[in-house]
Amino acid sequence: MRPADVLWNAAPGALKPVEGEVNVFCASLDVSPNRLEELVQPLSDDEWQRAGRFHLERDRQRFLAGRGTLREILGMLLKVKSASFVFSNGEFGKPKIAAPVAAHSLHFNLAHSDTIAVYATAQHALGVDVERIRAMGETEQIASRFFSPREVRCLLALPAEQRREAFFNCWTRKEAYLKAIGLGLDDCLDQIEVSLAPGEAAELLGVPNDSRPWLLRSLIPAAEFVGALAIQQEASRVNCWKWNGPP
Ligand SMILES: CC(C)(COP(=O)(O)OP(=O)(O)OC[C@H]1O[C@@H](n2cnc3c(N)ncnc32)[C@H](O)[C@@H]1OP(=O)(O)O)[C@@H](O)C(=O)NCCC(=O)NCCS
């Protein structure tokens, strides 16, 4: 078992955005009916409309819990009411704070997988991704389509029992970087090279046409999950917290 609980303590009450610091929060998306009721209070019409598009009630509730938690965390950090946030999207869908104006300088990004969501906040651009480590058919075919030839060689050189985690290390690191630059997944995944072997430090080994100094960090928000954070070099102190509601 990997030491997820050791690394992520409950978020303290007095957190605020600090230059050079990244706060990462992990929250459960499976919450009690009472907690969900509390979380949905500040949601916007747009968020309710998006929730209405899910086919499964379980997915709808997880989406609502995720958006409510985002507002709760941002409200706690910026000391504003969680209902007062208005979000706008970049060209490829990356959300940012549009209002209140005083909150503009806080960057955030989030990702969800199965029962959990991970949120990252800082005063610099950043991207985060998380995936549950799970069995997938045709892992090698997917890797050869989306990973670079060096990454595929590295994956196949690992003992079979390490490949699943290595695959998701690679996937989340690439996605965190693409989310940091605001693109999301497109057909350049194989041009971004990252480290992937379990136990090896997360490293960005190569990116096309980007001279900015990005750093990658690996995240272990819960047992069976792996994640990655892409941040600018100026924001290199990373605090990881569990979020169960306002402290
Ligand atoms: C961003 C993207 C990678 C998310 O993938 P995913 O695995 O389904 O979802 P994740 O859980 O990792 O992240 C979802 C969150 O990422 C954020 N997000 C959405 N688009 C984003 C983007 N382009 N960059 C950064 N973050 C983004 C949102 O906050 C979203 O949460 P929400 O659904 O509550 O609003 C995927 O939606 C994508 O590739 N989008 C861009 C598509 C596109 O237009 N590409 C064209 C490039 S040429």
Distance between CA 8 and CA 13 in Å, rounded? Answer: 15
Residue 184 has pLDDT above 90, yes or no: no
Task: Look at residue 106 and tell me if it is in a domain.
Answer: yes
Task: Clarify whether residues 99 and 139 are in a common domain.
Answer: no
Residues 32 and 138 in one domain: no
Same domain, 8 and 124: yes
Contact predicate 145/152, CB 8 Å: no
Strands (DSSP E) contained in the chain are: 9-10, 21-28, 86-89, 95-99, 107-113, 116-122, 126-132, 193-194, 204-206, 214-219, 225-232, 237-243
How many whole angstroms from 63 Cα to the centroid of ligand 1?
14
The pLDDT of residue 36 is above 70 = yes
Residue to mutate (ligand 1; options 48, 126, 183, 209; most atoms within 8 A of CB): 183
Looking at residue 5, its pLDDT comes to 45
Residue 194, C-beta contacts closer than 8 angstroms, at least 6 positions apart? 151, 169, 170, 173, 174, 177, 202, 203, 204, 205, 216
- The CATH code of the domain that includes 188 is 3.90.470.20
Alpha carbons 217 and 128: distance in angstroms, whole number: 10
Position 185 in a domain: yes
Q: State how many domains the chain has.
A: 2
| Shortest-distance atom of ligand 1 to CA 178 | 24
pLDDT at site 134: 93
Average of pLDDT values for 52-57?
Answer: 97
Question: 228 lies in a domain?
Answer: no
Give SS3 for 150: helix
My answer on whether 10 and 115 are in the same domain is yes
Q: How far is the CA of 160 from the centre of ligand 1 (A)?
A: 30
Alpha carbon distances (Å) from 65 to 82, 217, 246:
13, 26, 14
Q: Which residues pair with 116 in a beta bridge?
A: 28, 113
User: In this predicted model, what pLDDT tens digit does every residue of 196-247 receive, in sequence order?
Assistant: 999 999 999 988 888 788 999 999 999 999 999 999 987 779 999 999 998 8
What's the rounded mean pLDDT across residues 161-188? Answer: 90
What pLDDT does 211 receive? 78
In the DSSP assignment, the letter for residue 191 is: G
Q: Which residue has the tokens 């509390």?
A: 38
Residue 93 shares a structural domain with residue 173: no
117/211 same-domain check: no
Alpha-carbon distance values, 127 to 38, 61, 94, 121 (Å): 27, 24, 10, 9
pLDDT in tens, 88-102: 998 889 999 999 987
Name the residue among 91, 97, 37 with its Cα closest to residue 70.
97
Is 221 part of any domain? no
Query: Does the pLDDT at position 180 exceed 80?
Result: yes
37 and 123 both lie in a single domain: yes
Residue 144 host element (H or E): helix 139-146
Q: In terms of domains, do 163 and 178 share one?
A: yes
Residue 114 sits in the same domain as residue 183: no
Same domain, 111 and 8: yes
Residue 225 lies in a domain: no
Give the domain extent around 212: 132-216
State the chain's mean pLDDT as an integer.
92
pTM of the model: 0.94
The pLDDT, as a whole number, for residue 189 is 84
Per-residue pLDDT reduced to its tens digit, 111-159:
999 999 999 999 999 999 999 999 888 888 999 999 999 999 999 999 9
In a domain, 231, yes or no: no
Å from CA of 138 to ligand 1 middle: 24
Closest CA to 231 of 130, 132, 107, 67: 107
What confidence tier does 1 reach under pLDDT thresholds 50, 70, 90? very low
Q: Candidates 87, 89, 94, 177: which one to mutate for ligand 1, based on the most atoms within 8 Å of Cβ?
A: 94
CA of 94 to the centre of ligand 1 (A): 6
Q: Are residues 12 and 112 in the same domain?
A: yes
Share of the chain above pLDDT 70, in %: 96
Residue 229 maps to a domain? no
Higher pLDDT, 48 or 6: 48
Considering the domain boundaries, does residue 223 fall inside one? no
Q: For position 2, what pLDDT does the model report?
A: 57
